[in-house]
C-alpha cells in the first residue's frame, strides 16, 4: 500500500513540475514578446537562428531600397541593428517605433519577414487654425 501511495505522489510531483514549466514558458512568451535592440545586440547567442520580435526606432535616413533587398537600421538606447526586409515596407517615418519580426542571423543583423510600425499619424505635425 505504501509503494502505491509513493508512486502516486511521485507521478503527481512530476506532473506538477511539468505543468508549471509549460505555464511559465507560455506566460513569458505572451507577457512581453518584444525584445529591445540593445538586449539582442548585447546577447546575440541567446537569439541566434531563432524567430524573434525586435522593438526599436527607425534610424533617420537609414532605409536603403536596392534591386535585391531593402535594408534599414533600428536603434535602441546604445546599439543599432540592421534589418534585411523580405516583405513590404509599411509607411515609415524617421524615429518611428517599430518591430521587426524575423530570424537573427548575426549579432546585429536580422532577416525580417514582417515589419510592424506604429501609426504614422502620431508623428505627423498637427495644425490648428484659430478664427
Q: Average pLDDT for consecutive 10-residue bins of the chain (131 residues)?
A: 85 90 66 83 90 94 88 96 89 92 90 84 49 48
Nearest-angstrom CA–CA distance, 103 and 74: 15
* Residue 115 phi, psi (nearest 5): -120, 130
User: Are 58 and 102 in the same domain?
Assistant: yes
Residue 130 maps to a domain: no
User: Are 22 and 38 in the same domain?
Assistant: no
DSSP class of 128: -
User: Are 68 and 97 in the same domain?
Assistant: yes
User: Are 52 and 108 in the same domain?
Assistant: yes
Domain membership of residue 5 as a residue range: 1-31
Q: What's the CATH code of the domain at 81?
A: 2.40.50.140
Domains: count for the chain? 2
28 and 46 in contact (C-beta within 8 Å)? no
Q: What is the pLDDT of residue 35?
A: 92
Q: What is the pLDDT of residue 63?
A: 93
Q: What is the pLDDT of residue 125?
A: 47
Residue 126 maps to a domain: no
User: Are 11 and 24 in the same domain?
Assistant: yes
Residue 56 maps to a domain: yes
Q: What is the pLDDT of residue 25?
A: 67
What is this structure's pTM?
A: 0.67
Q: What is the pLDDT of residue 56?
A: 96
Residue with cell 495644425: 127
Q: What is the pLDDT of residue 127?
A: 47
Burial of 75 (0-12, 13-18, 19+ CB in 10 A): middle
User: First vs last Cα of the chain: how many Å apart?
Assistant: 90
User: Are 60 and 24 in the same domain?
Assistant: no
Q: What is the pLDDT of residue 33?
A: 79
User: Are 22 and 47 in the same domain?
Assistant: no
Provide Rg for the chain, Cα atoms.
22
Burial of 30 (0-12, 13-18, 19+ CB in 10 A): exposed
Residue 127 maps to a domain: no
User: Are 22 and 53 in the same domain?
Assistant: no
Amino acid at each position: 500500500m505504501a509503494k502505491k501511495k509513493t508512486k502516486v505522489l511521485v507521478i503527481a510531483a512530476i506532473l506538477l513540475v511539468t505543468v508549471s514549466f509549460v505555464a511559465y514558458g507560455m506566460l513569458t512568451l505572451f507577457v512581453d514578446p518584444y525584445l529591445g535592440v540593445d538586449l539582442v545586440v548585447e546577447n546575440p547567442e541567446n537569439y541566434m537562428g531563432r524567430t524573434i520580435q525586435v522593438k526599436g526606432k527607425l534610424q533617420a535616413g537609414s532605409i536603403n531600397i536596392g534591386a535585391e533587398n531593402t535594408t534599414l537600421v533600428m536603434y535602441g538606447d546604445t546599439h543599432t541593428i540592421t534589418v534585411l526586409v523580405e516583405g513590404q515596407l509599411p509607411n515609415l517615418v524617421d524615429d518611428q517605433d517599430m518591430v521587426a519580426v524575423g530570424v537573427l542571423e548575426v549579432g546585429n543583423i536580422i532577416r525580417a519577414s514582417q515589419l510592424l510600425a506604429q501609426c504614422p499619424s502620431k508623428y505627423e505635425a498637427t495644425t490648428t487654425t484659430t478664427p
